[in-house]
Structure 1
Amino acid sequence: MAHLVGASLSIPGSAWSPPQEENTEAQVVYHVRATRGYPAGRVRILCNDGTDVWWDVTKLPEEWITTMPNQAPVTPTAQTPSRTARRSAAAAPAAATAATPGTTGRPRASSRGRRPSRAATDGYDSSGVLLSDGEGAAAAAAPVTGSRSARSRSRSRSTAKAATPLAAATMSPAAPVVSLGKGGASGVAPLDTGVLSGDEPPATGVRQRGRQRKSLRFAPGTISPGGVAAAVSASPGGAAAFGAAHDSAAAPMSPLMSPRAADAYGDISAGLEAYEMEEAAAKGFSSEPPPLHWTRRVRSAALIVLVTLPALYYFKVLQGGPGGCSAAQWKAPLASVWATANGGGLASLLSADFWCALGYQQPLLAVNLVFFLNIDVLFWIISLLQGSTWLIDPFWQIAPMMIGLFYQFHPLAVTHPLRSRLAMGLLWIWAVRMTHSYFRREEWQVGAREDWRYARMAQRYGRRSAMWALVSFFAVGVTQQLMLVGITLPLLAIHTSPAPWNPVWDTLIFLVAAAGIMTSLTADNQLRVFMLENQKRRSAGLDPVLLLDTGLWRYSRHPNFFGEQLWWWALGGWALLLGQPWMLVGAAFNSLCFFPITWMTEARMLERSERRPFYQYYQSTTSMWVPWPPKASA
């Protein structure tokens, strides 16, 4: 890539971490040949503000290059290439259209006496897809198998991939590359840059010390545009076959994509989304999150604790005692407190008298108001600042547990002890199961990514747009409140009624609720085993299984969804038994929300053409939710 030396660049602010407000003007001053970790090599970039960085050529889009140096092709120096590079050079006339320059042998010592890295250090997997409660991960376990053997050999021998359209041009003065304009991969066009070489004479560059440095890492979730050229050259039939193999109109974006990166790369749509799907397939459509540094893990865990403190503090104060609400505050007329505290109106929200009277006299209204302020508003502000809605995911387990404890230990709580203990015991089991499932899916870390559905919505509206700010407030906040507060309404009925234990109906409700939790647990574990087995098959060079249709998944396409719904409807059975049938509205609303979730999940399963006929047959023979014997189909 020595032809890049001297090129002028305009690096968008979204490419830096943390993102910058303005573009950065820079110049390429040096180039290092390809290694295993950097198949196209790296370039040294000196920015106008004094920042001196090394940059992976695979992540240097053509649109950043403002001017190219007017120089003749540079002849190789006397540097000794690796054995693989020499063999590749000897075989170049016969494999000019399939080979990619690079080195696969033992890494050479760098100019500073250190060996180059064997792996790229970005730490981000553009194929990371967050799956709701394990569902949809069956899609993650089904990669494209047409070129599996080639990819397997590539991984086992650490064969370097083509990096950028500029790298693809090293084989010939008119090597075909994909044109990446605003329309994405628009076809094949020659790039007349002259014959290039994997080993180029170094250019002179002075490393700037004592200056502020930007991170080498790209904005999370971005991919190399040049990978499209590599995918085209590796695909039988070239660009046409590559496009046919990835005919999805809605390729998944990475949930890790930051708002600035999404805006910067959103216009490279067709080709890059197709290539991202190919990369995801090559990696087994991995749903593994990117590894986070321990400092970020600590910050995310600390944030989860901090955002719960307002609700916990209110719960403690409401219990009374030293520093808590007094009997006079509990029993003060709520209407008069609202009219007089702190001048009345919204200003009364800053009064302890109002919160004591509200929590004591209207526990359901207090739960909704605390949820709105503590989760809807606070989480929304945090999501806009962080550019991610990840925080709502762990609170799907935490919020119902906190609401249940609020009802159970309310000063006016009255209940049958056995019914209360069984209901709260099941809620604890559900919360522990969901929390374990969440952390297991996230590789025991938090804050790495957000739900893929919210990521797609953010991509559709533009994460930095005012429309997404408005939509996210209702879709991520208010909707969650309606679901989480709604499905926990039966717990309020349980702790406000001393009705005696009914040996038949109470026992039946308990057994059905426990069966729902166990169904979800079993389905998730079967899916987990399926994914692990496919990982072993890929490691052994075998084709992965495209579809999970055994165990509970033989009788239902979404048995974990069914188990989740069964648990909440059974819990609602206690509200019906205690004379509060209106409280079933929460379970009904939750089920209505699961219909579009199911449709979105199945649409993702059908996006990959090689899996589509299998899953369509699976849809025609297998029940969507309720487990039922599969029916015959032509």
Structure 2
Amino acid sequence: MGTVLTSTGVLVVFLMFITWLVSLRINDVSIIDAVWGTGFVLIAWTSWFLKTRSADAVLPAVLTTVWGLRLSAYLAWRNHGRPEDPRYAAMRRRHGKRFAITSLMTVFALQGAVMWMVSLPLQFSSKLHSDRGTVVLVGILFWVTGLSFEAAADFQLARFRSRRSAPDELLTSGLWRYTRHPNYFGDFCVWWGLFFSATGFGTPWWCIFSPILMSWLLMKVSGVALLESALGSTKPGYTRYVKSTNAFFPWFPRTDG
């Protein structure tokens, strides 16, 4: 197992370092977004190759591949031709000549560390345990729900942006009628699904800290919390939307808000 963990660690370091070099070349740190999903795909298949190379152990890697490549392709398409993410642009202005090393440590190294920790259930998975079929099915159900939410939310948001009449117009229909962040909720379900599925392939239950970490990041750090602070100051009517619609877990709109 040590060989797998070391190999994936080296892989992540190499991937983040190369991505950082590319970001310096194109002056755009946002490239990290498109690499995020692909990094998990590489980790999943590296773990599978080093541990089993068996067809009865391939499911976690396949699920990760479908999710990761779709996400990377979508984010690469979304970011193409757009200016650098405002968060990174602000960091670039703030740090000036020190931005290169600052971005390496606070963006690429940090996201690489998170990627490696969150992917531990994939790294520990091996062959299917015949007595854990139920938990695998539960995991697949979570994964399908999450992928469906994430893909549908990305499609609805892209369509809305192409048709809106003003930049500050607010999307409140489709999945956004039931949750203010359906794509983050989808990501949440995907990672719990991957964890449950992986436990059916020998992943120890202590690896539950990985989806817990991802859930915390999505809800309290880099996901909902970060986006809410920006939307509240740039979108007219957002306060009213907040009163009627759940932030994360989908539910019917509140009519008394």
The aligned residue for residue 97 of structure 2 is 464
Find out whether 1:450 has 2:78 as its counterpart: no
Find out whether 1:438 has 2:75 as its counterpart: yes
User: Which structure dedicates a bigger proportion of its chain to helix?
Assistant: 2
The aligned residue for residue 192 of structure 1 is none
Find out whether 1:596 has 2:221 as its counterpart: yes
Q: Is the 8 A contact 1:488 1:586 kept in 2?
A: yes
Q: Which of the numbers 43, 53, 72 marks the counterpart of 1:403?
A: 43
C-alpha displacement at 1:375, in angstroms?
3.1
Find out whether 1:586 has 2:210 as its counterpart: yes
Residues 215-294 of structure 1: pairs in structure 2 closer than 5 A: none
Q: RMSD between aligned alpha carbons? A: 2.6
Question: Which residue identity lines up with residue 489 of structure 1 in the other structure?
Answer: L
Residues 545 and 376 of structure 1: CA distance in aligned 2, closer, same or farther (over 3 Å): closer
The aligned residue for residue 493 of structure 1 is 124
The aligned residue for residue 607 of structure 1 is 233
The aligned residue for residue 12 of structure 2 is 371
Q: Is the 8 A contact 2:8 2:47 kept in 1?
A: no
Residues 11-410 of structure 1: pairs in structure 2 closer than 5 A: 362-372=3-13, 374-384=14-24, 386-410=26-50
Residues 447-596 of structure 1: pairs in structure 2 closer than 5 A: 449-459=83-93, 461-465=94-98, 468-495=99-126, 497-500=127-130, 502-534=132-164, 538=165, 546-577=169-200, 578=202, 580-594=204-218, 595-596=220-221
CA distance in 1, matches of 2:169, 2:48: 46
C-alpha displacement at 1:476, in angstroms?
1.2
Report Cα offsets for 1:374-408 as digits up to 9, x if no partner: 13444444544554324322211221111111112
C-alpha displacement at 1:471, in angstroms?
3.2
Q: Secondary structure at the match of 2:250?
A: coil
CA distance in 2, matches of 1:628, 1:380: 40
Report Cα offsets for 1:520-578 as digits up to 9, x if no partner: 011111112222221xxx4xxxx688221111101100000110111011211234453
Identical aligned residues as a percent:
24
Q: Is the 8 A contact 1:513 1:566 kept in 2?
A: yes
Question: Which residue identity lines up with residue 570 of structure 1 in the other structure?
Answer: G
Alignment size in residue pairs: 254
C-alpha displacement at 1:440, in angstroms?
3.0
CA distance in 1, matches of 2:89, 2:140: 37
| Structure with more relative contact order (C-alpha pairs < 8 Å, separation 6 or more) | 2
Q: Which of the numbers 236, 246, 249 marks the counterpart of 1:623?
A: 246
Q: Secondary structure at the match of 1:619?
A: helix
CA distance in 1, matches of 2:240, 2:183: 20
Question: Which residue identity lines up with residue 130 of structure 2 in the other structure?
Answer: P
User: Which structure dedicates a bigger proportion of its chain to strand?
Assistant: 1
Q: Secondary structure at the match of 1:528?
A: helix
Question: Which residue identity lines up with residue 189 of structure 2 in the other structure?
Answer: L
With normalisation by structure 2, the TM-score equals 0.86
Report Cα offsets for 1:145-173 as digits up to 9, x if no partner: xxxxxxxxxxxxxxxxxxxxxxxxxxxxx
C-alpha displacement at 1:363, in angstroms?
1.0
Question: Which residue identity lines up with residue 605 of structure 1 in the other structure?
Answer: L
CA distance in 1, matches of 2:110, 2:29: 14
C-alpha displacement at 1:415, in angstroms?
6.2
Q: Is the 8 A contact 1:494 1:574 kept in 2?
A: no
Question: Which residue identity lines up with residue 619 of structure 1 in the other structure?
Answer: V
Q: Secondary structure at the match of 1:606?
A: helix
Q: Is the 8 A contact 1:416 1:499 kept in 2?
A: no
CA distance in 2, matches of 1:361, 1:616: 50
Question: Which residue identity lines up with residue 600 of structure 1 in the other structure?
Answer: L
Question: Which residue identity lines up with residue 229 of structure 2 in the other structure?
Answer: A
| Runs (4+) off by over 4 Å | none
Q: Secondary structure at the match of 1:439?
A: helix
Q: Secondary structure at the match of 1:463?
A: helix
With normalisation by structure 1, the TM-score equals 0.37
Question: Which residue identity lines up with residue 622 of structure 1 in the other structure?
Answer: T
Moved more, 546-555 or 571-580: 571-580
C-alpha displacement at 1:414, in angstroms?
6.8
Residues 503 and 588 of structure 1: CA distance in aligned 2, closer, same or farther (over 3 Å): closer
C-alpha displacement at 1:437, in angstroms?
1.3
